[in-house]
Structure formats: C-alpha cells, structure tokens
Amino acid sequence: MDRFSAVHMYKYYIKNNPDSDVTYTLFKYTVSKFFKKSVIKILDGETFYLGHKLGTIRIKRVERDFSRPTIDWYETNKLKAEGISKHIYYTDDDWCRWCWEKNKAPLKNKSVYKFNPSEGRNGNKKALVKRLKTDEFAHLNYKF
C-alpha cells in the first residue's frame, strides 16, 4: 500500500499549478496548521467533513459492554507498584473513540479502508485521552 507524504502532495500541487510561487516550507506549514486546527475542532465536539463524499471524522461515544469488562491498566499498574496484585476495571457507562463515518460514502470496497488517528506522545489518540482526563465534562461534547 502506498503512503503519501507532504513532499508528494507538494509535487502534485506544483505539477498542477506550475505558475505558483508557493515554497515547500509554506505549503507544509499551511497543511500542518490546517490539520492541527481541524483536530482541535474535532476534539471540541465538531464533525469534520472530508469532502468528495468520503464521509466524516468525529469523536464518538460508545456504550460500554459490561459482559466483557476492560482492564484499566493505568490504575492496575499503580496498584502493582504499591505491591497489590489486583485488576481494576473500567466502570464508566461509555467510552470515546475516533470515528470515520463512511457508511454513506459511495466508495467501492469501503470495508477495506480504515482510519487510524496518529499515535505516539503528541498523537491524536493521546490528545483525546488528555482532553477526557483534564475536563470531566468533555465526553458530553461527543454524540453516540
């Protein structure tokens, strides 16, 4: 599977706009600023429309299934550090996740496409976790 970077996008842009005086540095700054602002809007509870009938990206609240309990590893590891060997489970009624809603998108074979929010120390997954931990009412911004 091919992955495209900002360099590929810039080369495509210059190929289609040969008279443009936009440098790669400006192009990359503009694209990264756009994506950062989009992420902030999504974290605030808005829905991002991808355009060209590709669907939307938003943060979705999901009801927790208590028939299969999930271990809260952060709290469990804190107890293990204190010498207590017990598992702590999540007890919230719901949880939040990034969601690409593509059910109305007229794509062929759309089941093979997937959306992975960025991971890592400064990734979008961590940004969602941080938002949910610092603001106790943040989960109310997101729809089921």
Does residue 13 belong to any structural domain of this protein?
Answer: no
Query: Over pLDDT 70: what percentage of the chain?
Result: 99
Residue 1 has pLDDT above 70, yes or no: no
Does residue 69 belong to any structural domain of this protein?
Answer: no
For residue 100, the SS3 value is strand
Does residue 52 belong to any structural domain of this protein?
Answer: yes
The domain tally of the chain equals 1
Domain of residue 133 covers 44-63+96-141
What confidence tens digit (pLDDT) does each residue in 12-53 have? 999 999 999 999 999 999 999 999 999 999 999 999 999 888
Residue closest to 56 by CA, chosen among 96, 101, 18, 16 = 101
Contact 90, 68 (CB under 8 A): no
The pLDDT score that the predictor gives to residue 85 is: 93
The pLDDT score that the predictor gives to residue 124 is: 94
Does residue 122 belong to any structural domain of this protein?
Answer: yes
The pLDDT score that the predictor gives to residue 4 is: 83
The pLDDT score that the predictor gives to residue 36 is: 94
What confidence tens digit (pLDDT) does each residue in 63-77 have? 999 999 999 999 999
What confidence tens digit (pLDDT) does each residue in 94-124 have? 999 999 999 888 888 988 988 899 998 889 9
3-state helix, strand, coil in the chain (%, to 5): 40, 15, 45
Does residue 113 belong to any structural domain of this protein?
Answer: yes
Does residue 82 belong to any structural domain of this protein?
Answer: no
pTM of the predicted structure, to 2 decimals: 0.82
